Every structure is written in C-alpha cells, then in structure tokens.
A = this chain, B = another copy of it.
Amino acid sequence: MNPDNAVRTSFKQQMLQAREEAIIQTANRLLAEKGFEAMTVDEVALQAGIAKASLYKHFASKEELAAAATARVMRRARDFIRALPEQAPPLDKLRAVLRWTLEVKLAGDMPSLPSRNSTLRTALIGNQDCMEGWMEVSDRLRAWIEAAQAAGALNPALPAVAVLYTFFARACDPALEFLRIGGRYQDEQIVTLVLSTCFEGLNAR
C-alpha cells in the first residue's frame, strides 16, 4: 500500500467527518430554533447543503440525528466542566456551568428536546455518546452540589437531585427568550438576571 493511498483515504475521511459535523451543527441550530417536532429533515439537508438521501447515509433516522446533536452538546458541556479549575469553590463552578448553559442557549445553540416524545427518548438512551456525556455531567455536578451544601454555600435542605434538575431545566427556560423579546435587556444582563433568580431567588435577603 503506497503512502498516497493512505493520505488520500485519510483526507477523504476528514472530509466525511467534517460534513457530518456540519450536518450535526445545522440540526443543532434548528433543534434550538424550533424543536424536534417542527424541525424537518428536508430543512436540515437543505441548510447543510446536502441531499436528504445523503444525510440518511450518515444517520439512520431523524431521532438518531437529534441524538447526535444532543451528544454533541453533552460533549461540549463535559469539556467545559472538565476544564474548570479543580480547586475552585464548588459554588463558583456551578455558577460557571449555569452561565455557560445560558450563554449557549442565548447563542441559539441549545437543542430543545421534548421530554415527552417516546421514540426520541429511546434514541437518546440508545446513543452511547449521549448517555456517557449525560452521566459524567450529572455525576460531576452532583458532587459539586453536595460539596457546596456541605460547605454551607448551597441550601442543604434541598435534595441534591432537585438542585441538579433545576440546573438542567434552566437549559430550556423560556424566561430568557421572553426577556430578549422584551428588548430592554442585553444578553449579558439577561444571563446575570437568570443566574441571580436561580441562586439568590426572588425573595429579598
């Protein structure tokens, strides 16, 4: 096997992977924009500059495509979490993760998936990348939550899992869109507001 062959193969594979990444990015944006049900495979293919039949060579179904997009954002979250300084206070890290989440959502990059659709749930659970990312993210956040509670920074009366779910729920909080549509606040202010209401609550202190 001559080297040219190897080079050409590698190049081809790189092109393929790049195209696949482009498809996933497009799907990701459309999922964020209109949700799983309203997103059509035609639109993804069109905006990705590829024929629909070609897309189906990469992903066996619309559900698998959405799962790939979900796995991607899970990987991004995992990487962000891993990159946080180990010795920082847990509460700071949790705030940083929530800030990151809100910024991704405001950037239009947070896929919004219905928790009700059963076929999609199956695809998400069946996707190993997706599940692994989710589990690592959950485990690390839960550990930080419990550490923050032990340190007296987070309310220890709340079950850790409830805090965790509260974080996840903020990833699809429509309050951000409401505030943006209102037009009175910049994205940075919106993030600060939601961070504040989430951690400090609505009550006066």
Residues on A facing B (Cβ under 8 Å): 33-35, 37-38, 91, 114-117, 149, 152-159, 161-163, 165-166, 168-169, 172-175, 177-179, 182, 184-185, 193, 196-205
Contacts and interface: CB of A to CB of B under 8 A. Distances in A.
A114 B161 contact: no
A114 B166 CA distance: 20
- Number of copies of chain A assembled together: 2
Nearest to A193: B162
Given A155-B196, A161-B184, A166-B202, 16 more contacts: A34-B116, A35-B37, A115-B177, A154-B203, A155-B202, A155-B204, A157-B196, A158-B202, A159-B193, A162-B179, A163-B202, A165-B175, A165-B182, A200-B201, A201-B201, A205-B205
A203 B155 CA distance: 5
A143 to B, nearest CB: 16
22 contacts: A34-B114, A34-B116, A35-B37, A35-B116, A91-B203, A115-B177, A154-B204, A155-B201, A155-B205, A156-B204, A158-B193, A162-B193, A165-B174, A165-B175, A166-B202, A168-B174, A173-B173, A198-B201, A199-B201, A199-B203, A201-B202, A205-B205
